[in-house]
A and B are shown apart, each in its own frame.
Chain A
């Protein structure tokens, strides 16, 4: 300790409680707005294709981050809301480190016909299963309840 005095009574150190609470409203952005408006009405996804490097971006963007070109409206494509599970993990704790009531299978899904992936939760009771390589599809909320966020996808389920 580099000071001339220290606290010696263990009851004297104090703490001050506070927060940085605020609410956030994230606009979807130009690409996101088009995507989320699409999934309100459809059970499919949208992706964008870079005209130069031909990479298909999912989630869609208005620019290619590698070539740094703007992606024109003509290069948007509709794709099925399906994919292959590339990786998965079984999450058992919440942000406080407390056990979740039910573990969740979080997976990284390679969306069909694109070079992109999406995080998703697989609904299953069998946690011992090998999820890698299985095909899954998105299960959406009923159309009248969709709001245009990722929450419109309830979970992913295995396609037999």
Chain B
């Protein structure tokens, strides 16, 4: 299985193992399932952000020095290196900055009905400041960069204080009031 030398210098070898070798147990291996779990403290910024999502609102944070409105909110401004100043409610509408049509599920398995996913810059925040989320109620061939979208919230009872309290974003039809 060693590779023959093809040119100077002599390259180091390696022994290829196929999936079959493993299934047929031609090769020995050790199996291990680690137990790695976390409970991250969220701090003031993310805690408030999630609590507001539960109420059906999107909240950001402002930095007075660089005049930015930050979403997702954070307690400090990474450019000015100073604490951020105030909370500010943002709209639940925005613009698609980029998107993808995914035929892969999270475990890299193939799916037939694609997932529409993208970055939405949120109205009221600084330009190109947004979050990643799903899109719904549109066909893959309808989506485009620059499309105006609005959030569809889960019913209040189902909201848990998570980014998934927004079901997905749907297109705003022409003439519709935001």
Q: Tell whether, in the assembled complex, residue B28 and residue A36 are in contact, meaning their CB atoms are under 8 Å apart.
A: yes
Binds A, one of B45-53, B122-130, B145-153: B45-53
Name A7's closest neighbour in chain B (CB-CB). B44
Interface string of A37-81 (1 = CB under 8 A from B): 100100000000000000000000000000000000000000000
Decide if B161 is an interface residue (CB 8 Å cutoff).
yes
Tally of chain A residues near chain B (CB < 8 A) = 35
Number of A-B pairs, beta carbon distance below 8 Å: 95
Q: Tell whether, in the assembled complex, residue A24 and residue B33 are in contact, meaning their CB atoms are under 8 Å apart.
A: yes
Q: Tell whether, in the assembled complex, residue B83 and residue A7 are in contact, meaning their CB atoms are under 8 Å apart.
A: no
Binds A, one of B34-42, B97-105, B135-143: B34-42
If A16-B46, A25-B31, A26-B32 are given as contacts, then 10 extra A-B residue pairs at C-beta distance below 8 Å, sorted by A number, are: A7-B44, A14-B50, A21-B33, A23-B32, A25-B22, A32-B28, A33-B28, A95-B35, A149-B30, A149-B31
23 contacts between A and B (CB under 8 A): A3-B75, A3-B76, A4-B84, A7-B47, A13-B42, A14-B47, A14-B51, A16-B46, A17-B39, A20-B36, A24-B31, A24-B32, A24-B33, A24-B34, A25-B29, A26-B29, A26-B32, A28-B27, A28-B30, A30-B15, A32-B28, A148-B28, A149-B31
